Amino acid sequence: MSGCPYFAKRDIRHQQKDEEERDDSQDGTNKASKGGIIYGDYLQLDKVVTAQVLQSELKGNKIHDEHLFIVTHQAYELWFKQILWELDSVREIFISGHVRDERNMLKVNTRIHRIVMIFRLLVDQFNVLETMTALDFFDFREYLTPASGFQSLQFRLLENKIGVPDNLRVPYNRRHYRDNFRGQDSELLFESEQEPSLIQLVEQWLARTPGLEENGFNFWGKLEVNITKALKMEKEKLERKPESEDKDEHMAEFHKQRDVLTSLFDEKRHDHLVSKGERRLSYKALKGALMIYFYREEPRFQVPFQLLTSLMDIDTLMTKWRYNHV
């Protein structure tokens, strides 16, 4: 501390303190002379930091923990907005066709990964609200009715724009989820169901994966031939082995594997599963995805592979989010 150059001047600063009191009158001058915006105005903190009104207080029975409840939900909604910002920008890149310029892949991937990072934070955020006990929540819960997370517009928009299908939603109260909203909100929600979702856009992109062209590399055709041949050889190898319990087990396993792989090439079966909602991507898109997996180390497929991984991360994290919520 003795070497600190400002230390010596400490007394001077304290002498100046009296002058500071006169500074209040210079309120306007300082800001104008600097020009430009200051922190609090830039972030519109006058709006953000005054938006916490406790219902329990309004009703004359202020409960301390309600503040945490409010701030937590507001933080969630701020981040939902950010996710929508990133999501819409990515969808736009696909919709506008700019995704065909593969230089845009870095941007797409970065933004989807950013969504993943935000979801990670949102999953961790439950730990903070969990410092509130059930007893403390009980003390103010009555003042909240009928407000409910079902009315979170941004959450629904998020689900729809990623690609949660309406007909797979679990209904509740025998009402459509959109019934919780009116007017502009309801329209926005409807739009988000109609416009291309992330999964639809990714599906179209996957279907265009280079190497699928039948009159080109014909990945799928070659794969089917290879698998059929390899399975045949496996079978012959196994059959040549002497009879034993092991052999029977191996044969059973082999048949299972063969059935799984054979079903892969059964397009009718795929379409059936899609109609049931058990598969979501088109057959062609699935081929593209498998191609990217197998050839992920090829320079052209490296970033696309990262994108597919990040898309799965989003699903994983949303599931964790839902589970934590429960």
Site residues (CB under 8 A) for another protein, limited to 75-114: 75, 77-79, 81-82, 85-86, 89, 110, 113-114
> 172: which strand partners?
175
The interface with another protein within residues 291-320 (CB under 8 A) comprises none
Distance set, CA 292 to CA 4, 93, 103, 267 (Å): 59, 20, 17, 20
Q: Which stretch binds another protein (CB under 8 A): 38-46, 199-207, 222-230, 258-266?
A: 38-46
Shorter beta-carbon distance to another protein: residue 134 or 214: 134
Shorter beta-carbon distance to another protein: residue 120 or 247: 120
* Structure token digits, residue 315: 């699903």
The interface with another protein within residues 247-276 (CB under 8 A) comprises none
Q: How many residues does the chain have?
A: 326
Angle between helix 105-124 and helix 66-95 axes, rounded to 10 deg: 160
Residue 325 touches another protein, criterion: CB under 8 A: no
The interface with another protein within residues 126-145 (CB under 8 A) comprises 127-128, 131, 144-145
Q: Which one of residues 74, 226, 257, 263 is an interface residue with another protein (CB under 8 A)?
A: 74
Are 125 and 323 in contact by the 8 Å Cβ rule? The answer is: no
Q: What is the C-alpha to C-alpha distance for residues 69 and 149, in angstroms, rounded to an integer?
A: 12
Residue 148 touches another protein, criterion: CB under 8 A: yes
Shorter beta-carbon distance to another protein: residue 115 or 285: 115
- Reduced to 3 states (helix: H, G, I; strand: E, B; else coil), residue 122 is helix
Shorter beta-carbon distance to another protein: residue 193 or 298: 193
The alpha carbon dihedral of 61, 65, 71, 75 has a sign of: negative
Q: Which stretch binds another protein (CB under 8 A): 59-67, 156-164, 208-216, 303-311?
A: 59-67
* Structure token digits, residue 138: 């009980």
Q: Which one of residues 3, 18, 22, 47 is an interface residue with another protein (CB under 8 A)?
A: 47
Q: Which stretch binds another protein (CB under 8 A): 115-123, 233-241, 250-258, 301-309?
A: 115-123
Residue 64 touches another protein, criterion: CB under 8 A: yes
Q: Which one of residues 11, 103, 135, 183 is an interface residue with another protein (CB under 8 A)?
A: 183
CB contact set of 304 (below 8 Å; sequence gap of 6+): 105, 209, 292
269-306: b (≥16 Cβ within 10 Å) or e = ebeeeeeeeebebbbbbbbbbbbbeebeeeeebebbbb
Q: Which stretch binds another protein (CB under 8 A): 183-191, 221-229, 255-263, 283-291?
A: 183-191
The interface with another protein within residues 201-220 (CB under 8 A) comprises none
Distance set, CA 47 to CA 30, 77, 139 (Å): 23, 15, 28
Least gap, CB of 198 to another protein (angstroms)? 17
Shorter beta-carbon distance to another protein: residue 179 or 315: 179
Are 108 and 202 in contact by the 8 Å Cβ rule? The answer is: no
Least gap, CB of 279 to another protein (angstroms)? 14
Least gap, CB of 101 to another protein (angstroms)? 17
> 175: which strand partners?
172
Q: Which one of residues 104, 125, 302, 324 is an interface residue with another protein (CB under 8 A)?
A: 125
Are 112 and 314 in contact by the 8 Å Cβ rule? The answer is: yes
